[in-house]
Amino acid sequence: MMMVTNIGEQLYAVAEERETMSELIRLYGHVEDYEIQVVTRSKETIWVSANIRYVEVDNSGYFEGTLENITKRKADEQEILQLNQNLDQFANITAHDLQEPIRMVSGFLGLFDKKYGHQIDEQGKSYIIRAKDGADRMSILIRDLLEYSRSGNKSAKYEPVDLNHVLDLVHQDMEIVMDKTNAALYISNSLPVVEGAQSALYRLFLNLVSNGFKFCRKDCAPEVTVMVEENGDHWLFSVRDNGIGVAESDQHKLFNAFQRLHRREEYPGTGLGLVTCKKIVEMHGGKIWMESLPGQGTTFYFTLKKAEELIRPVRMDLIRA
């Protein structure tokens, strides 16, 4: 840790960028954990985390604070980022390579049944149906595993995301299911803009809404309601359904991979939907939990940070003194 008393002399960086940081300090009074790359007096290029404040004395002022050398941490982060990118690439290639033969198996089984089904007895037909069902389920599992692996990708581009647009997309994609089951989707009139990865947030809402439609009671049409309210520096969202509900003793299981509470014949799925939602919410700095009663429906709650102008890590071009 080293003391900083004169930004102009001790942080060797582009003057314009240095002035930008100074303006932020004047505006907010301080910066905390502000990551920049600088050159020390000994000509060494390092990454530092700056905690600097503005001190006013006798109608004038100066900056003071501390710098922590985080060069090793940044190198470790870069290595992890590269490993994650390699894993993502591997997952995409593997998923594609696996999907193709499975689609071929399912397709040829369908063609075989269509052309020669009349020549096969009932037991033979049941074998074909079971084999095709297995291939189709494997295809869905690969897709869900790929989605799960992508859901925790912290290297994804973050940008302002209008959740009104996201829910419009969810509504469009669920229209066929809604028409088929006479389901209803109610959405809060005005949803906020948040900072995040749009594709991941889309999957989050799509998974929760589709779950509400899937786990419906037999005696009434499914209804899902999406609401939001302010909660300090976060938005608190709720996705409520009128479905079968979940016993309290089983609720903790649902956020674990491959956990299922019902037979596949009753409610299809791979058991990866909610654990994917959990990863997406946590990736965006929030938390997710649920409240439910058997026969009375389920409400999923989760928080997302409010979009605001934050002091972000900035990599500066260097001026070597």
Residue 163 has pLDDT above 90, yes or no: yes
Residue 197 in contact with residue 156, Cβ under 8 Å?
A: yes
* pLDDT: which is higher, 244 or 320: 244
Task: Express as a percent the part of the chain with pLDDT over 90.
Answer: 12
The pLDDT of residue 258: 46
CB neighbour burial string for 125-155, b if at least 16 within 10 angstroms, e if fewer: eeebeeebeebbbbbebbebbbbbbbbebee
Alpha helices by DSSP H, listed for 117-189, are 122-151, 163-181
3-class DSSP string for 63-127? EEEEEEECHHHHHHHHHHHHHHHHHHHHHHHHHHHHHHHHHHHHHHHHHHHHHHHHHCCHHHHHH
Residue 102 in contact with residue 83, Cβ under 8 Å?
A: no
Residue 298 in contact with residue 290, Cβ under 8 Å?
A: yes
Helix H or strand E encompassing 208? helix 198-214
Residue 21 in contact with residue 7, Cβ under 8 Å?
A: yes
- Give the whole-angstrom CA distance, residue 172 versus residue 178: 10
| Per-residue pLDDT tens over the stretch 78-102 | 887 777 666 666 666 666 667 777 7
The pLDDT of residue 104: 81
Measuring CA to CA, how many Å separate 286 from each of 7, 134, 147, 196, 236?
35, 36, 19, 11, 9
Lowest mean pLDDT among 164-173, 204-213, 264-273, 291-300: 264-273
Task: Express as a percent the part of the chain with pLDDT over 70.
Answer: 72
The pLDDT of residue 262: 45
* pLDDT: which is higher, 147 or 275: 275
* pLDDT: which is higher, 227 or 50: 227
| pLDDT band of 263, cuts 50, 70, 90 | very low
Closest CA to 222 of 249, 190, 185: 185
- Give the whole-angstrom CA distance, residue 48 versus residue 34: 8
The pLDDT of residue 190: 86
* pLDDT: which is higher, 269 or 159: 159
Residue 271 has pLDDT above 70, yes or no: no
| Per-residue pLDDT tens over the stretch 123-151 | 888 888 888 877 776 776 676 666 666 65
Residue 302 has pLDDT above 90, yes or no: yes
- Could you give the 3-state DSSP secondary structure of residue 218? coil
Cα radius of gyration (the chain): 27
Residue 264 has pLDDT above 70, yes or no: no
Residue 52 has pLDDT above 70, yes or no: yes
- Give the whole-angstrom CA distance, residue 204 versus residue 207: 5
Residue 208 in contact with residue 277, Cβ under 8 Å?
A: yes
Query: Average pLDDT of the chain?
Result: 76
pTM of the model: 0.55
CB count in 10 Å sphere of residue 297: 23
Amino acid at 285: G
According to DSSP, the residues that pair with 301 across neighbouring strands are 238, 289
The pLDDT of residue 316: 30
Amino acid at 204: L
Residue 317 has pLDDT above 70, yes or no: no
Look-up of token digits 């997302």: 304
Query: What's the average model confidence in pLDDT over 143-170?
Result: 75
Q: Determine the distance from the C-alpha atom of residue 77 to the mean position of all C-alpha atoms in its chain, rounded to a whole number.
A: 19
Provide CATH code, domain 156-308.
3.30.565.10
Query: What's the average model confidence in pLDDT over 283-311?
Result: 82
Residue 142 in contact with residue 98, Cβ under 8 Å?
A: yes
| Per-residue pLDDT tens over the stretch 200-210 | 888 899 889 98
